[in-house]
Structure formats: C-alpha cells, structure tokens
Structure 1
C-alpha cells in the first residue's frame, strides 16, 4: 500500500501494528520534493503521533533491520 507519511502513521495506529517497515522510499523521485523529504516527514509524523522509536522503521538506503 502506498501512503503519504501522515496516512502511513494513521494506518499504523488504526491496525494497532506492533512494528512497521517503510519501503521503497528513495527509489524514485515522483515530484519536486527532495529524495529524503518523505522519510523526514515520516519521522516527524511519528513523533507527533507519539509512536515510540523503533516501532515504525524507515531503513537508510542499503541498511538492514530485523523484524
């Protein structure tokens, strides 16, 4: 499912997810926004919604995470 950062956090909370992994960000630039802008916005939305660190993960390019 493709969502804006704000909508992604809303879905995370609505489905009561334990952890979520943001995917495909930085794969292509669909607009005039900077390539890192979506992940920065996601972090801000998580902070606004009170999502704890490590619960909604957006790996850096080439990084790995364990779920």
Structure 2
C-alpha cells in the first residue's frame, strides 16, 4: 500500500467517504441542544448551541437542503 497517494486524481475519484470529524449531540445543563465537533490536530472543538424552542426550525432547514438533491 506504500504506492497509494490520497492526493492523486485516481484516489480522489475513488473516494467514497471524505474525512469527517467526530460529532456529538447532547443536552447541556440548561436543556439546550449542543452540537460539538471534535477539533483536529490540537484545535479546540467547535460548539453550536441551539435552544430547544428553535430546534424544529433547524431540522426543517436541514430537511429542505436534503430535498434539494
């Protein structure tokens, strides 16, 4: 496997799943929804906090984007 080059054109054409950083979804102490993505190479995690009262709006927007495919 030493001859594999992830940056080659053939490797990019073969790519099925691109690298995805770990993602956790949980509730914080305030009952809000937390989306936390693991930072790479020592970087801090990215955190998004969504109030439960607005969660459906986020879900609807994501569903609409998926429907565009």
TM-score, normalised via structure 1 length: 0.27
Greater relative contact order (CA < 8 Å, ≥ 6 in sequence):
1
Bigger fraction of residues in strand = 2
TM-score, normalised via structure 2 length: 0.26
